[in-house]
Amino acid sequence: MLIESLSEQFLQDAEDIREDIHRHPELGYEEERTASLVSRLLEEAGLDQVRSGVGGTGVVGLLRGAKRGRTVALRADMDALPILEQTGLPYASENEGVMHACGHDGHVAVLLSVARLLADRRQSLPGDVKFIFQPAEEGGGGGRRMMQEGALDDPHADAIFALHGYSGVEPGQIALSPTPTAAMLGFRMEIKGRGGHGSMPNTTVDPIMIGSEIVVAAQTVVSRETHPARPAVISFCAFQAGTKENIIPPEATLLGTIRAVEMDVLYELRAGLERIATGVAETLRGSVTIEDIGVPYPPVKNDPELLELVRRVGTELLGRQNVVEMGEQRMGAEDFAFFLAEQGGVPGIFFRVGVRSDENLHTAQFDFGSEALEPAILMMANVANEFLAGRAAGE
């Protein structure tokens, strides 16, 4: 039987947790307060084991059901972003310049609530549940570190599930896709020129001009070197140079990301970007060095049978009309991929839950909100229970 509703007090507790985490955001590998809160609440929920410091600041909780069976893992990411919050909410960030602009406060509150919900039902739980609270999803590769430090082991998980807030569908809806996220690699370009007075550009090697040409020319790697049927994108997201309006600086920095659905395309983009940037810089009498930021994130590829399980649970719990198929490929990235079978992990699913927001993720106005909490908690709890009961597709 599905768990179909939650009490008002239970939902208020979940909202209180979310607002507390939202008020105290922490960047990747700095989630000390968040991890401490997670550990305390897992212990209070009566979990059998709580491990902290996994993969840096990660936390892994284990709930043993009264019946022996399989083990399912559920994952939430904990880190915030370096963004100055502009929501005006009463629980807005108190850590200036850092905010939960990607909804990870909601993810943590959801998973803590699922732990409490399933712990109260451990006598009917047909297996074990691991609760994985991961640091540094936002480019820091926290999922990779947690995998390397055995987050899925002892006992070994048989499957893993994760969700993410998404403003593209309404609260009470979920969105599904066979490949919900793309591969991603961050990069930094350091452009060297020769500085001088703004009135005499002929005596300089202008790194701002070089950088501008690189930004424009790099787009031909996607438009003219990548097959049109293979989604890919190169985005420059920061251009840092200069100190005053009449000084041409000696150097400039470009930051950005490369994204593709397949890893081979990602590496082709990386090679093409370096070739073009080097050629442009040399042509304009400067030089450029390119270094990767972090580790490449593989694409998330959902397990087909588990995807059917989530679709069935969503249909029964929320209604068929509230299970939305993602028609077009999304190019966001997620290091949840490191937990999956293709990267040496286990079969898994990453799905999206609707949130009430007119703002996109990674903006200063985004908020996960409260309306998404109940459907998200119920989806994760029921998916875990259905998997443990052996009611995945074909079982």
Average pLDDT over residues 253-265: 97
- Alpha-carbon distance of 329 to 231, in angstroms, equals 8
Amino acid at 270: R
Position 393 confidence tier, pLDDT thresholds 50, 70, 90: very low
Per-chain mean pLDDT for the chain: 96
Position 277 confidence tier, pLDDT thresholds 50, 70, 90: very high
pLDDT for the residue 357: 81
155 cis-preceded (ω within 30 degrees of 0): yes
Convert the pLDDT of each residue in 19-33 to its tens digit: 999 999 999 999 999
pLDDT for the residue 356: 85
pLDDT for the residue 394: 46
Position 391 confidence tier, pLDDT thresholds 50, 70, 90: low
| Residue 75 · residue 384 · CB < 8 Å | no
| Residue 154 · residue 350 · CB < 8 Å | no
- Is the per-residue pLDDT at 226 higher than 50? yes
Token pair 């450029």 is at which residue?
Answer: 288
pLDDT for the residue 360: 87
Beta strands in 8-108 (DSSP E): 49-54, 58-64, 70-77
Pairing of strands 70-77, 159-166: parallel
Exposed, middle or buried, 9 (CB in 10 Å: 0-12/13-18/19+)?
A: exposed
Q: Which of 305, 312, 290, 175 shows the shortest CA–CA distance to 236? A: 290
pTM, two decimal places = 0.93
All domains in the chain, ordered by first residue:
8-181+299-388 (3.40.630.10), 185-296 (3.30.70.360)
- Is the per-residue pLDDT at 220 higher than 90? yes
